[in-house]
Chain A
Amino acid sequence: MHPLLPGASPSRRTFLTAIGGAFVLGAVLPVRLARAEAQGPAEGAGALAPKPGTRVAAFLEIHPDGTIKLLSPFVEGGQGIATGMAQIVGEELDVPPSRFVVECAPPGPDYAVVNGIRMTGGSFSTRSSYETMRRLGATARDLMIRAAAARLKVQDSELTTSDGVVLHAATGRALPYGELAADALKLKPNEAVPLRDPKNFRYIRQPVPRLDVRDKSTGRAVYAIDQKVDGMLYAAVQHAPRLGTEPTRLANEAEVKAMPGVHSIHRLPGAVAVAADSWWRARKAVEALKVEWSAAKPSGIDTVAADFSSETMLAALKASADPGHVAEEQGDVAGAFARAAKVVEADYEAPYLAHAQLEPPSSIARFEPDGTLDVWLPNQMPEVFQAVSAKVAGLPPAQVRIHSPMLGGFFGRHFTYEAGNPFPQAILLAKATGRPVKVLWSREEEFARDAVRPLSFSRFRAALDAAGQPTALEVRTVGEGPIGRYFSMMMQTPVDPSAVEGIVGKPYAVPNRRMTFTKIAHPVNIAFWRSVGHSMNDAFYESFLDEVAGAGGQDPFALRMALLGGSARHRTLLTTVAEMSGGWRRGPYEGEGGMRARGLAMASPFGSETATIAEVSVEGGEARVHNLWIAFDPGSIVNPAIVKAQVESAAVLGLSSVLFEQIVYRDGVRQSQNYDTYPVLRREHMPKVHVRIVESGAPMGGVGEPGLPGVPPAILNAIAALTGQRIRALPIANTKLSAA
């Protein structure tokens, strides 16, 4: 068992899905140790960490006015988890979700509710904690009833609850939770409280309004970038043009020091910084600094060399002859190829991607008079940021308090990515200046240091029989994924699941299969990016499946239906998406303003299933997507409105990435500095998005990411149907499309 997962023995797959990301400067931390320290001194022999998600007082503050503060294990960043948690806890506690105020809890062992660890990621929050959080609400309600029974001198069984009040029907007496909370929390919780019968749910499965929309519509929502502490300095940075090089000389330090408002100039690992009395002054000053940087290695891909480029990296992945390790294998692949009537082969590639969340990252660090440290920072994993902060500050984790504000978008951006986060800079600067310091990265510095979705490559081969049916599929994936980068010690095989997901685990009954993974590390900081390996792999696989259909003279829908023979769940989804779009129709056909065609794709990301159809035309050599139909089966749900909004949001990121997005390296330097050189989807390219939730009743799957992976291949397949062009190198913008 790994220390990251105390007390849990999940399957390898669950486990790898669960970790979704937790990284440290250099090495993965013993989070369990960090936690134990964070709890302070042990309290006697029985001082074990509490079972996560059971201690009511760690989660709920019940106020006399009837409002409830819920300290959530998860951070809200647009996915609606704060509202979802209020629904789940409120359902069992018997308090309407609207009466909750939800905040992200500080580090602590109580909140390790994701298979024994804590993180907001992997589309894992709701499905991993659903039972735990229901039970927590039910336990709290039971405490209220027992406190009321003692107060009223009646039996528990004579009492009921309603909307945050305990009622004694016989005498008409009523005690609001707010009056009972102090007594209730002194009682020993019952271990086995009954949960509400789902038939009687009032909040779960309802489109409960989100708790944060009014604040977000009026500018009142507070993000990390909006926070301020007394006496703080503002700092701006200039990063080394090439990752891994260091400042060697500041040619005009005195001049810059004399600029208005400048407090001090600092050299940091891989960067220089100016602290000033306003951020704008700090930024102007740091950009005026003439910095000489140490030389990068001239060549190679083991570092970001002077000649490092996306092209040389891709060439290295393609050229590798290392057979790698088997990621999935079934049947007799060699035999099937030997007997094949036809063989289809294709190489697929995808670029590095930035998160480009709209809030640029910032952090505030403040050392307290007693030597402890407060850090305010965007993060998806408070305990890991606490441990890394402690390491940077030279303090024990227990002396670091982490504050986790709402995130202005994240998509995997806010894990610890070595040089990819500003908080170590804030801590170093606070130490150097003796003042609280807020570091904000300009959008340009963010594009320079954001950790990126890895550039990816897979080679596909299929064997077809005389009837055009695929009999074998062979896929060779070369590269590196974020789990392998940050968690290799936890992988039980050399196969990085985050590099091959979406190529393995597909639902199609191709009888002979062999998928391999060959690791070649990237010299750049790689990241988890919404839907991780699925973000490119399903695009590759589902595109290639259409190539196979074409080579075998089959319709892509009919072929998928045939290959899904054994799975009613997938067939239902495919039928549903066809029906949503008015019946499967590939085209090309005459549409409004020109010819259109449709493409189809399926994906199985994060425990959920999707089937997607895209409708596309070509205008001026560019793809125009008119409609996306998505049938989405997450098993079961908590809030249909939030689920639909998240599926649409993920679909837009999929659309944006496949149409436009790429971080290109040339001469060791990223070629994108801002949204003008890293175009993301704008309104003019926004299609209609139609989402239907299909609740199959399968175990609850993820929601935040699974809407994405089906979209890129559906679009690529539609383009192929329309123009005959099979795009195998992303994004689409790199290919001039022929008119239909």
Chain B
Amino acid sequence: MVSLTINGRQYAVDAEPDTPLLFVLRDTLGLTGTKYGCGIAQCGACTVHLDGQATRSCQVSLESVGDQVVTTIEAIEQDEIGRKVVEAWVALQVPQCGYCQSGQVMAATALLKQTPHPTDGDIAEAMTNLCRCGTYNAIAAAVRQAAA
């Protein structure tokens, strides 16, 4: 049994230590807001926060989480900045298919926590998740709106 702190709750998980956190979240714990896209750190659909840092959960093994605090999209509106990000996403109607957007919102929230007023360069550096629907410009606009 491995103990995890996710969204302020304690969970005891029984899985192989090398299981990616992504699949622990989705399949073991039913937190399906975090998405599987590639499994190899390419797409960012699986982005969660580990101690507030945007992290691709397909690359984090269960055993390596340790006592880091995990935050997923399910709890994002409980965070003041996360709530602002979501409101900007809704106001600017960012999502198309939406599949990448959990990861995008998580990446944006982590960025704004560290850099409340990001430059275009900061956005380019932090917002590297793929969007096959091409919402990149809407995402950047929403990040700027959430920062304003």
Contacts and interface: CB of A to CB of B under 8 A. Distances in A.
B45 interface: yes
B132 A216 contact: no
A358 B45 contact: yes
Contact of B132 (A79, A358, A688): A358
Contact of B95 (A212, A228, A680, A684): A212
Contacts of B39: 442-443, 674
The interface residues of chain B, by DSSP majority, are classed as loop
A357 interface: yes
A650 B132 CA distance: 10
Contact of B36 (A225, A410, A652): A225
Contacts of B76: 218-219
B2 interface: no
B130 A358 contact: yes
Which of B95, B133, B139 neighbours the largest number of chain A CB atoms within 10 Å of its CB? B133
Contact of A213 (B19, B20, B72, B95): B95
B64 interface: no
Which of A216, A220, A359, A650 neighbours the largest number of chain B CB atoms within 10 Å of its CB? A216
B102 to A, nearest CB: 4
Contact of B86 (A218, A280, A360, A410): A218
Contact of A408 (B28, B38, B97, B138): B97
Given A213-B89, A218-B73, A219-B73, A652 B128 contact: no
A736 B138 CA distance: 31
A78 B30 contact: no
Contact of A653 (B23, B77, B97, B134): B134
B43 interface: yes
A217 B105 contact: yes
Contacts of B57: none
Interface in B6-60: 15-16, 19-20, 23, 26-28, 30, 32-40, 42-43, 45
A609 to B, nearest CB: 21
B78 to A, nearest CB: 11
A96 B39 CA distance: 41
Interface in B52-107: 72-74, 76-77, 86, 89-90, 93-102, 105
Nearest to B39: A443
B99 A359 contact: yes
Contacts of B35: 225, 358-359, 408
Nearest to A655: B134
A219 B100 CA distance: 10
A223 B101 contact: no
Given A214-B86, A219-B72, A409 B99 contact: yes
A686 to B, nearest CB: 4
Interface residues of B, number: 54
Given A217-B86, A649-B96, A689 B42 contact: no
A279 B99 CA distance: 19
A682 B93 CA distance: 20
Interface in A52-108: 77-80
B27 A279 contact: yes
B114 interface: no
A406 B101 CA distance: 14
A222 B39 CA distance: 20
Contact of B137 (A77, A220, A653, A689): A689
A225 B22 CA distance: 13
B32 A226 contact: yes
Contact of A683 (B34, B40, B136): B136
A632 interface: no
A691 B99 CA distance: 24
A217 B133 contact: no
Contacts of A649: 96, 133-135
B90 A652 contact: no
Of all A-B residue pairs in the complex, the 9 with the closest CB atoms, nearest first, are: A219-B33, A652-B134, A216-B98, A78-B97, A408-B99, A219-B73, A78-B96, A216-B95, A226-B32
21 contacts: A209-B90, A210-B93, A214-B86, A217-B98, A218-B73, A218-B86, A218-B105, A219-B72, A219-B102, A226-B26, A278-B15, A358-B43, A358-B131, A360-B36, A649-B133, A649-B135, A652-B136, A674-B39, A675-B37, A683-B128, A683-B139
Given A234-B27, A358-B100, A406-B97, 7 more contacts: A214-B86, A216-B95, A218-B76, A409-B99, A645-B135, A674-B39, A686-B134
